[in-house]
Structure 1
Amino acid sequence: MQTIQQWLQLFTEQVSQTSFWEWAAVLFGVTEVLLAKVNNIWLYPTGIIGTTIGIYMLIMAGLYAESALSVYYIVMSFYGWYHWVKKRNEARVNISRATKQEWVTVALIVFVGWVLFYFLLTRFTTSTVPVWDAWVTSTAWAGMWLLAKRKLENWILLNVSNLFAIPLLFHKHLIMFAALTLFLFIVAIFGYFDWRAKLKTAQVS
């Protein structure tokens, strides 16, 4: 069993071996999150650049399902960018909790997506981690669906995905991507409690 010192040594070694492109993708990713926090439209171009670099890195690491998820992120970023400019002065959809029917949809996205991605990864790719790659992607897709509908529980699904993605990325020696995902995990925790407080305020008023 590895000691804490051995884990720290492994972490240090992997950081020193991190490529320029991985650093760049992480830098753009952090910038995107910070811009999103202050509601700045530049979050979209920075996110698109960072995600594009990340797709290349994920493919090289054999995380094909996560690569497909990143393509979806880019499409949704262009979509969000367009609607931000077009409808920036319109009222947002209110935050609400997921209904029972929506939880059924979430379950379908997660488990049907998991099986589908696993089948595609094992049949058409050289993935060495098809089970976990498929799981991370399917739970993230469910979380993004809830996010689009402004459902409080989106943060839970996104953090289920993040929780499994961190060791998966570490296993694939994408240490800075793992660190970025840990950062997103923490942000999502604060996001959940922030949305919950806003929901309670809206229900009282």
Structure 2
Amino acid sequence: MESFMDFDLLLQQIQETRLLEWIAVAFGVTEVLLARKNNVLLYPAGIIGILCGGFLLIDAKLYAETLLHGYYLVMSIYGWIMWKSKSQSGALKITKSNTNDKRITWMIALGGWGFLYFILSQFTDSDVPVIDAFVSSTAWAGMWLLAKRKLENWIWLNVSNLVAIPLLFHKQLILMSFLTLFLFIVAIFGYLDWKKELNSRENEFRTV
């Protein structure tokens, strides 16, 4: 009986979804698929999705998530510039994180977690400040690595996705949780594709 109720809720959410939300979801999915293919067009697609999603979040008074989208927007513009400016020379290629990259990544994740938790717990009525802050801070770290074209970006983004899925279910945002599950699966293949390309280039270098 419960399964039918959940299915009915899902159908109701689909029927009530606004056009702007469909556009945001469509461009969000497009961004991830292009990222998996290591295509620079992921950034303009992502920027459109971020802007649409930002309007929806402001309307829903989800200000912390709006702040996260603002960060996504800045990192997307930065990443687009980085990819375009270095694509001709081939200077920016898929690489693994070095020691400094890892240190910065952990600083973003842990520092962002603490900062967002403070904001959510002190200035909002959030009932899940710890988990909400964790989802956002790990996504921050993943986006920074994506802009640097680091393989580990997929790991950090999927840590965020993995926690976001039950969080969205808890908030009864069933449609969005299924979207996040889809992004989680795509990110797994994205990691495997990037790792394959990286290993192939390393093997070519060894044979030269």
Deviations 1:11-64 (A, max 9, x none): 223222322321221122223344555666554333222211211222344543
Q: Could you tell me how far apart the structure 1 residues matched to 2:22 and 2:32 are?
A: 16
DSSP 3-state at the match of 1:109: helix
* CA positional deviation for 1:152: 1.9
TM-score by length of 2: 0.81
TM-score by length of 1: 0.82
Q: Is the 8 A contact 2:36 2:186 kept in 1?
A: no
1:85-104 map, 5 Å: 85-104=84-103
What amino acid maps onto 1:11 in structure 2? L
What amino acid maps onto 1:198 in structure 2? E
Q: Is the 8 A contact 1:14 1:173 kept in 2?
A: no
CA RMSD of aligned residues (A): 2.7
What amino acid maps onto 1:118 in structure 2? Y
User: 5+ unaligned residues in a row in structure 2: which ranges?
Assistant: none
Q: Is the 8 A contact 2:71 2:140 kept in 1?
A: no
Deviations 1:159-181 (A, max 9, x none): 01011222323444444433332
1:131 corresponds to which residue?
A: 130
What amino acid maps onto 2:108 in structure 1? I
Q: Could you tell me how far apart the structure 2 residues matched to 1:24 and 1:102 are?
A: 34
Q: Could you tell me how far apart the structure 2 residues matched to 1:170 and 1:101 are?
A: 36
1:24 corresponds to which residue?
A: 23
* CA positional deviation for 1:74: 1.4
Q: Is the 8 A contact 2:31 2:43 kept in 1?
A: yes
1:24-173 map, 5 Å: 24-36=23-35, 42-173=41-172
2:14 corresponds to which residue?
A: 15
Q: Could you tell me how far apart the structure 1 residues matched to 2:193 and 2:6 are?
A: 34
User: 5+ unaligned residues in a row in structure 1: which ranges?
Assistant: none
Higher deviation after alignment, 39-48 or 153-162 = 39-48
Q: Percent identity?
A: 54
Q: Could you tell me how far apart the structure 2 residues matched to 1:76 and 1:17 are?
A: 31
Q: Could you tell me how far apart the structure 1 residues matched to 2:36 and 2:152 are?
A: 19
2:5 corresponds to which residue?
A: 6
Q: Which runs of 4+ in 1 moved over 6 A?
A: none
What amino acid maps onto 2:94 in structure 1? I
